[in-house]
């Protein structure tokens, strides 16, 4: 099991650095359709585009999975073809070892770089990718470029790799993946992230000059309120401005300032949540959980969250439906999460009794 965790962690750290390449640095593969002339005529995001969330910084990219519906789809057309990219020639910043999301800020010239060890503010104006400020996550030591480079270097043996990784990331390196994964930027340019079961909110020290640095605005430890969960698995913002945090065993509703837990909802005892949640403009919170029993039924449900309070009443529009997903050994957790999110939206108009 230890080797499996380490292998999984090392696979993920391919996202260790953020890189930016212009079109001039991307060359089409001679053997592929690399003329770059054809584009996708109808981007997926245009087929089923959620209503913009007024509490997020931008319509797209201000939250993990790109929007409140968690579709992983974006409206920008992508050139069709096979292209070769030399990352060594790209502008780059180092952080991590996990860099899952770069958030759109309230300014088109800057983005928030969200990683497992820090929060960064990135200048992207005029094609740049330049880190102008950074701040560590609560209780997390920021890794140096030298440390991160050692992790991804060639290693002669598994034991050598294991020693390098554990020396830098600690005896449980897989826990690096539990930080900074589900993140968002709100309409006032606050960036939200997690360090284990601590939710944190960051802001610029001086909004008029990002180079003055990033400040930890507030943090709240949720360990005693997550119904015995081992880790957090999601965070999103409702359309009326409340933060919904998902843990393995239930949901919490917080105010934006992270000073108050406004409500909570425990999952049924036979269920466990392993992926994030979807939000709609009418207060719907869509949750897809797995059975704790192998081969058991998962639960898909729509909760209603308005004014910081959760309702499970069918009269308010809530519903739940049990489902069985056949899971083969080669299907990854991320694939299953995508299947579950698709099922949620397919069931969005379905209502069954509690």
Determine the pLDDT at residue 48: 67
Q: How far apart, in whole angstroms, are the C-alpha atoms of residue 14 and residue 110?
A: 23
Of 300, 225, 234, which Cα lies nearest the Cα of 265? 225
DSSP string computed for 285-349: EEEEEEESSTT--EEEEEEEEETTEEE--GGGT-EEEEE-----TT--HHHHHHHHHHHHHHTTT
CB 96 within 8 A of CB 16: yes
Determine the pLDDT at residue 88: 82
DSSP string computed for 181-194: -S-EEBTT--EEEE
What is residue 81's three-state secondary structure?
A: coil
Mean pLDDT of the chain: 85
> Which helix (H) or strand (E) is 236 found in, with range?
strand 232-237
Which residues of the chain are modeled with pLDDT < 70? 1-48, 324-354
Q: How far apart, in whole angstroms, are the C-alpha atoms of residue 301 and residue 345?
A: 11
What is residue 265's three-state secondary structure?
A: strand
What does the pLDDT look like over 25-71, one tens digit per residue? Answer: 555 554 444 454 555 566 655 666 789 999 999 999 999 999 999 98
What is residue 11's three-state secondary structure?
A: helix
What does the pLDDT look like over 138-159, one tens digit per residue? Answer: 999 999 999 999 998 999 999 9
Q: How far apart, in whole angstroms, are the C-alpha atoms of residue 173 and residue 120?
A: 22
């Amino acid at each position: 099991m230890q080797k499996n965790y380490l292998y999984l962690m090392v696979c993920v750290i391919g996202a260790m650095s953020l890189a930016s390449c212009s079109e001039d640095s991307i060359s089409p593969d001679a053997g592929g359709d690399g003329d770059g002339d054809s584009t996708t005529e109808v981007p997926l995001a245009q087929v089923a585009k959620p209503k913009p969330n007024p509490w997020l910084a931008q319509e797209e990219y201000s939250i993990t999975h790109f929007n409140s519906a968690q579709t992983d789809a974006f409206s920008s057309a992508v050139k069709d073809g096979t292209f070769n990219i030399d990352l060594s020639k790209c502008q780059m910043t180092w952080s991590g070892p996990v860099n899952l999301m770069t958030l759109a800020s309230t300014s088109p010239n800057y983005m928030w770089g969200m990683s497992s060890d820090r929060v960064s503010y990135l200048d992207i104006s005029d094609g740049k990718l330049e880190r102008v400020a950074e701040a560590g996550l609560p209780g997390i030591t920021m890794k140096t470029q030298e440390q991160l480079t050692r992790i991804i270097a060639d290693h002669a043996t598994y034991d050598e790799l294991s020693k390098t990784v554990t020396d830098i990331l600690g005896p449980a390196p897989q826990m690096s993946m539990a930080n900074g994964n589900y993140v968002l930027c709100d309409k006032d340019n606050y960036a939200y992230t997690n360090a284990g079961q601590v939710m944190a909110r960051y802001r610029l020290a001086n909004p008029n000059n990002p180079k003055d640095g990033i400040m930890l605005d507030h943090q709240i430890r949720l360990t005693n309120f997550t119904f015995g969960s081992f880790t957090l698995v999601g965070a999103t913002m409702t359309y009326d401005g409340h933060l919904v945090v998902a843990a393995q065993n239930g949901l919490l509703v917080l105010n934006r300032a992270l000073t108050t837990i406004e409500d909570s909802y425990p999952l049924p005892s036979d269920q466990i949540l392993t992926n994030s949640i979807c939000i709609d403009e009418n207060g719907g919170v869509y949750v897809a959980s797995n059975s704790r029993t192998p081969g058991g039924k998962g639960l898909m449900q729509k909760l209603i969250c308005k004014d910081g309070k959760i309702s499970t009443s069918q009269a308010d529009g809530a519903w739940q439906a049990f489902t069985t997903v056949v899971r083969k050994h080669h299907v990854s957790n991320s694939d299953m999460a995508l299947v579950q999110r698709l099922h949620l939206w397919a069931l969005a108009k379905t209502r069954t009794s509690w």
